[in-house]
Amino acid sequence: MDDEILSAACVRKSYSLGRRRLDVLRGVDFVAHRGEFVALRGASGAGKSTLLHLLGGLDRPDSGTIRVCGSDLGTLSTSALTAFRNLRVGFIFQAYHLLPELDAVENAALPARMARMPAKMAKAKAEELLHRVGLAERFGHRPYELSGGEQQRVAIARCLINDPELILADEPTGNLDTKTGAEIIEVLLALRADRGTTLVIATHDPKIAARAGRVVEVVDGLVA
């Protein structure tokens, strides 16, 4: 379909653990449409995180095809895939992955600087996004000076800095208390509504899944 922003066909992924082979994904088919909010649910070890990493080009499948924004990820070189991820896909993780030596503005601006956006423009855009996620008073703070919820807000600003068409979030509220987690989801949904961005979230939280337009269950490496 023309509005498909993301599709996976018969995707398989395994890992070797010593002499043991672990089949994490066993032929997954998945589609997301532009502007959609999809929740991925499943038990720990079902393959949700692995699927998200493959969909975003952070890892490559053993077999199968993944297309994002019209590009077949399997045909891209490593350098082209890195550039594609930086410009077209935004990632939010349970662990915030902020650089401890950088302040909030510098962390949020990092993907833009990697994309060679002029420093002054990247700083202004990072400050605008941090303001939108409620961190106008935290521009100069480093990660150790921020709460978990504030660090996740910086991660959201960083995710949005290059205006991605697709956001992939892996348990983005997993390290947060219930109230803060709910606030983070509200921030994400407001930004998605404003920008028309496609949002795919892997979560154990039934309250988050209830907000999604569609829920996809991952069971034993397959989409149920």
The predicted-structure confidence for 143-198, as pLDDT tens digits, reads as follows: 999 999 999 999 999 999 999 999 999 999 888 888 888 888 888 888 888 888 99
Q: Which residues lie below 8 Å from residue 116, measured CB to CB, with a gap of 6+?
A: none
Average pLDDT, the chain: 92
Give the predicted TM-score (pTM) of the model.
Answer: 0.91
The total of structural domains in the chain comes to 1
pLDDT at res. 160:
92
Task: Work out the angle between the directed axes of helices 148-160 and 119-132 (0-180°, nearest 10).
Answer: 130
Residue 213 belongs to domain spanning:
4-223
pLDDT at res. 41:
93
pLDDT at res. 177:
87
- Does pLDDT of 2 surpass 80? no
- Does pLDDT of 201 surpass 90? yes
pLDDT at res. 195:
84
Residue 224 pLDDT level (bands cut at 50, 70, 90): confident
Q: Cα–Cα distance between 224 and 219 in angstroms, integer?
A: 6
- Does pLDDT of 17 surpass 90? no
pLDDT at res. 205:
87
Q: Cα–Cα distance between 209 and 41 in angstroms, integer?
A: 8
Residue 76 pLDDT level (bands cut at 50, 70, 90): very high
What average pLDDT score do residues 196-207 get? 91
pLDDT at res. 212:
93
Instruction: Check which CATH number belongs to the domain holding 40 and give it.
Output: 3.40.50.300
Q: What percent of the chain has pLDDT over 90?
A: 72
pLDDT at res. 1:
44
Give just the sign of the alpha carbon dihedral 149, 155, 158, 159.
negative
- Does pLDDT of 82 surpass 70? yes
